[in-house]
Chain A
Amino acid sequence: MRSPEHVELVRTDPDLPPVAVIDRRPMTTGKKLVFAAIGLLAAIAWALVAFVRGESVNGAYFVVAAVGTYVIAYRFYARLIEYKVVRPRDDRATPGEQYENGRDFAPTDRRVLFGHHFAAIAGAGPLVGPVLAAQMGYLPGTLWIIIGAVLAGCVQDYLVLWLSTRRRGRSLGQMIRDEMGTIGGAAGLVGVFVIMIIILAVLALVVVNALAESPWGVFSVGMTIPIALFMGVYLRYLRPGRVSEVSVIGVVLLVLAIVAGGWVADTPWGAETFTLEPVTVAWLIVGYGFLASVLPVWLLLAPRDYLSTFMKVGTIVLLAVGVIIAQPAVQAPAVSSFAIEGNGPAFAGSLFPFLFITIACGALSGFHALISSGTSPKLVQKESQLRLIGYGGMLTESFVAIMALVTAISIDQHLYFTMNAPGTLTGGEPGSAADYVNGLGLAGPPVTGEEIQAAADSVGEESIISRTGGAPTLAFGMSQILGSFLGGASLQAFWYHFAIMFEALFILTTVDAGTRVARFMLSDTLGNLGGPLKKFRDPSWRVGAWICSIVVCGLWGAILLMGVTDPLGGINTLFPLFGIANQLLAAMALAVVTVVVVKKGYVRWAWIPAVPLVWDLAVTMTASFQKIFSPEPSLGYWAQHAAFRDARAAGETSFGTAADPAAMDAVIRNTFIQGTLSIVFAVLVLVVALVALWVCVKAVRAGGLPTTEEPDAPSSTFAPSGLVSTDAEKEVAAQWSAYHDEHPDRLSTGTHA
């Protein structure tokens, strides 16, 4: 071992080998050179991304800039957070070790846990947001995805994971209540619930937009249900526990379903049966969500989850390889006029704050705080591994977002806006869509209606006009990238539907699980109200489960239908609400983290969570303010509401994009609901932020306050911290193997027995 004088071995029991390695060795010269080289490479890639213009910007530069920045951030910034805030103590037993029961509390290898955690945090969000944000050009999105992840998203995930690990794996809602009292706790609980509902609705809307009028998509995504049911039965009755075997079978069936979708869509009966109106698809998804939340988990949810995990990792790897091999040329400008003028067709609003709202997952996602508290803390072996799981997991998600952005900006700009402008602007026909996008003043030669139709034909779709929501655009870009080296034009339609399929799969898994989680939050809250409602607390009471499921599906289903039928084009009015909701959840999470850091007396380092918190509050409050008070109807919900109401009162029968009185009434109703939700979100988060500020002031005046951290329990196991073991860790691990060889009966990890 190199310079052992800087390595401290910690023991909790003189009879046991060391349980922790405190390594204070400076970096070797070789390592310093490697990091310097990585930093230099990343700087060159950043310079190319930022200053080179035109066709010569290569998609691979983005990958190099991102990965280089991640390596440096992980090595230096995450390490700073570890030293100054987290201060991991590996001689302290984690919840997994202390309460080990072999089930939910079970120390898990750090590399396996990383995969587990990543599969739980990554979904369709980092794929959809960057695609929409591409309307502002490539530079703002790239900067925010990378810098936002490094300074905000990863910090949130890492520190929430730390908080929950020190509190027996408690949930975010509980931690807010414990650290900030009942008012903050109540606002937090209601906030989490409402935010969950809106997130489910908007994600379902993305699926509706991808599947409506697409018989191929409807057939192949629909087939995932019988495939999952088959897998469930197989796992229960034929070969219990053979999870990877059944997952491989499921993935093969899934690929068959995608291929078969093409055949079915080509037959007249298939096209007739599976070409569905958006409203029909929406009702089907609501019905599906309800069924999935009341059927037993083993039958539908668990097998879908296995498929989703397999597809997630596989597709992300495929996309990364595709971008690196195909090296697509960037078609989007660095910064588009929509970023400055705020009149973009995919979503309204200027760069600040709406870029930071649109790209939530991939840069800063509050939803991760729900994942980071709860499951992963009960599985971690050592506190020092939290950096890999929390910070590292989020870096990986940020990388996925960069891939999605590269895919979107390498699509021809005219086609990009053909797909992402709402039908009221494009007119829905190739000719009118071509006229519309040619009038936008985009770079590159103008497009013709025939070319738009040819693009749709190339991916086996009837039309690609106004397929908003991000998923079809990403699928289109992916089909071009993958088709360019795998199968050429003949497989492009397959890749398009492959991409649609996996996005729908992720989202439907989120909808299943989210509906269930929201249902339990609801029944728990009702049960806590006491009186006759106490019965709701019993999770085995089926009637209560059904009532709560109906309420939850009804809530998100209503918002979904509102988005589907919105005369203004659902995605551009609802997606900002989704982003705001997600970022407000992040504000709550960062607020509780800041409170704990201040309470613990680390005031000097409170800026680490406070800077992203203040930034996030600035973004979300500005966005909420504009959505509530902007006099510009395309931006402000209430301005739109008033404009339509006045028109209705004046007896007009059509107004703006609403063609008849019923459509006008729909706009009046929708904007009222959206505007009200905006106000509710903003008020709830302001309450949490103010309570957090008040607790922080109290803590600073008192020179620190007690937190609800659990008392220490000594650890009696050892595990390495990082992805790769150091030489010192290998030596200690060898001591443990020798010890276990000598005392096979002491092969214990738990301390509770």
Chain B
Amino acid sequence: MSVLRRGWYAVTWYVTGVLGESDYQRYVAHLRRVHPDAPVPTVGEYWRERYAALDVDPGARCC
């Protein structure tokens, strides 16, 4: 069972990493560590800002 659980954990860790889902947690951890006084955005606020930044530069996709 624990093998299954660890396997599932690894898969979700990988998928959320590649899709960028875990970026919010990473950003919050970064803020807490480096700028402890800064206000922490909610998930919704974080993604709004992030998409606003992508509006300016979405990054190319290859053919």
Contacts and interface: CB of A to CB of B under 8 A. Distances in A.
Contacts of B59: 120, 371, 374-375, 513, 517
A544 B43 CA distance: 31
A593 to B, nearest CB: 18
A361 B14 contact: no
Contacts of B19: 243-244, 247, 306, 309
Contacts of A119: 18
Contacts of A123: 61-63
Given A120-B59, A244-B19, A301-B58, 5 more contacts: A106-B26, A106-B30, A241-B47, A298-B54, A308-B61
A35 interface: no
A199 interface: yes
B21 A368 contact: no
Tell me if A's interface is mostly helix, strand, loop or mixed.
helix
Interface residues of B, number: 38
A241 B46 contact: yes
Contacts of A510: 61-63
A112 interface: yes
Residues of A in contact with B, size category: 35 or more
Given A240-B43, A240-B44, A750-B34, A302 B62 contact: no
Contacts of B48: 236, 298
Nearest to A100: B30
Given A111-B14, A302-B54, A241 B60 contact: no
Contacts of B53: 103-104
Contacts of A516: 58
B63 A243 contact: no
16 contacts: A111-B14, A115-B17, A120-B60, A236-B44, A236-B48, A242-B21, A367-B60, A367-B63, A371-B59, A371-B61, A510-B63, A513-B59, A517-B59, A747-B33, A752-B34, A753-B33
A233 B44 CA distance: 12
B9 interface: no
Contacts of B24: 241
Contacts, number: 136
A177 interface: no
Contact of A297 (B18, B23, B58, B61): B58
A263 B29 CA distance: 49
Given A115-B17, A240-B43, A203 B63 contact: yes
7 A-B pairs with the lowest CB-CB distances in the bound complex, closest first: A102-B30, A125-B63, A112-B17, A298-B51, A115-B18, A240-B44, A102-B27
Given A102-B31, A361-B63, A112 B18 contact: yes
B62 A235 contact: no
A127 to B, nearest CB: 10
A520 B44 CA distance: 27
A361 B55 contact: no
A565 interface: no
A539 interface: yes
B50 A296 contact: no
Contact of B47 (A236, A375, A750): A236
Given A103-B50, A297-B55, A309-B19, A370 B60 contact: yes
Contacts of A108: 17
Interface string A719-753: 00000000000000000000000000001101011
A462 interface: no
A60 interface: no
B7 to A, nearest CB: 15
A106 B23 contact: yes
Tell me if B's interface is mostly helix, strand, loop or mixed.
helix
Contact of B21 (A103, A203, A243, A752): A243
B44 A241 contact: yes
Contacts of A520: 56-57
A70 B54 CA distance: 35
B34 A748 contact: yes
Contact of B60 (A236, A308, A309, A517): A517
Contacts of A241: 21, 24, 43-44, 46-47
A371 B57 contact: no
Contacts of B47: 235-236, 240-241, 298
Interface in A328-378: 361, 365, 367-368, 370-371, 374-375
A111 B15 CA distance: 11
Nearest to B35: A753
Nearest to A103: B27
A57 B48 CA distance: 54
Contacts of B15: 244
A361 B62 CA distance: 9
A309 B62 CA distance: 12
Nearest to B34: A753
Contact of A514 (B12, B21, B46, B60): B60
B62 A120 contact: yes
Of B14, B29, B33, B35, chain A has the most CB atoms within 10 Å of the CB of B33
A306 B20 CA distance: 10
A296 B33 CA distance: 32
A575 to B, nearest CB: 12
Contact of B51 (A302, A365, A747): A302
Nearest to B21: A243
Nearest to B54: A297
B19 to A, nearest CB: 5
Nearest to B59: A375
A109 B31 contact: no
A296 B14 contact: no
A122 interface: yes
A407 interface: no
Nearest to A109: B17
A583 to B, nearest CB: 12
A264 to B, nearest CB: 29
A124 interface: yes
B43 A509 contact: no
Interface in A368-390: 368, 370-371, 374-375
